[in-house]
């Protein structure tokens, strides 16, 4: 197996695990909000039914919520795109771009450079863990949690894999 295929497989697995099993950020409070992929899935219906209200809370126009929802749906599928990237380099690159976009914007948001922490609560956040203490696994490392760093690493690996030649 060529190195590009192995890296694409590894990137897809890292991305799927980081998206759905690991917490990217936890916002302490009552209750504690965890940002991870399942939180996005739970908040997607609100993005389509209450776009104007949600946009008002975040300080953006309501129609922008629909665009953000489309980007987040593509992001949720990006781990699968990276796995398909074993055969198609273009899908590995596309999947990795969405992963890096969400990962880096979330990291910049945690550092209060681009977005504020309200995005974690209203878009990425979920206050009810699937299995308390296990899913999402929350290991705080600096300003963010382990999942965010694994997510960015999966995106970077997938991007590198996308530009590598495929062997036989």
Give the residue extent of every domain in the chain: 3-163
Tokens of 101: 């976009």
Name the pLDDT band for 168 (thresholds 50, 70, 90): low
Q: Give the DSSP letter of residue 129.
A: -
Buried b / exposed e over 62-77, threshold 16 CB at 10 Å, is eeebeebbeebebbbe
pLDDT at 41: 95
pLDDT at 29: 81
pLDDT tens digits along 48-98: 999 999 999 888 999 999 999 999 999 999 999 999 999 999 999 999 999
Tokens of 64: 């922008």
Which helix (DSSP H) or strand (DSSP E) does residue 103 occupy? helix 89-110
Q: pTM, whole model, 2 decimals?
A: 0.93
């Amino acid at each position: 197996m060529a190195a590009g295929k192995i890296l694409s497989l590894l990137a897809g697995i890292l991305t799927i695990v980081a998206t759905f099993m690991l917490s990217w950020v936890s916002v302490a409070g009552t209750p504690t909000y965890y940002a991870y992929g399942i939180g996005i899935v739970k908040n997607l219906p609100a993005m389509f039914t209450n776009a104007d209200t949600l946009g008002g809370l975040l300080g953006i126009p309501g129609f922008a919520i629909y665009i953000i929802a489309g980007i987040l749906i593509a992001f949720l599928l990006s781990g699968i795109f990276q796995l398909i990237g074993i055969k198609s380099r273009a899908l590995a690159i596309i999947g990795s771009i969405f992963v890096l976009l969400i990962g880096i914007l979330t990291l910049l948001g945690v550092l209060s450079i681009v977005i504020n922490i309200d995005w974690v609560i209203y878009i990425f956040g979920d206050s009810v863990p699937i299995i308390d203490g296990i899913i999402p696994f929350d290991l705080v490392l600096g300003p963010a949690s382990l999942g965010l760093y694994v997510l960015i690493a999966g995106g970077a690996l997938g991007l590198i894999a996308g530009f590598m030649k495929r062997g036989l």
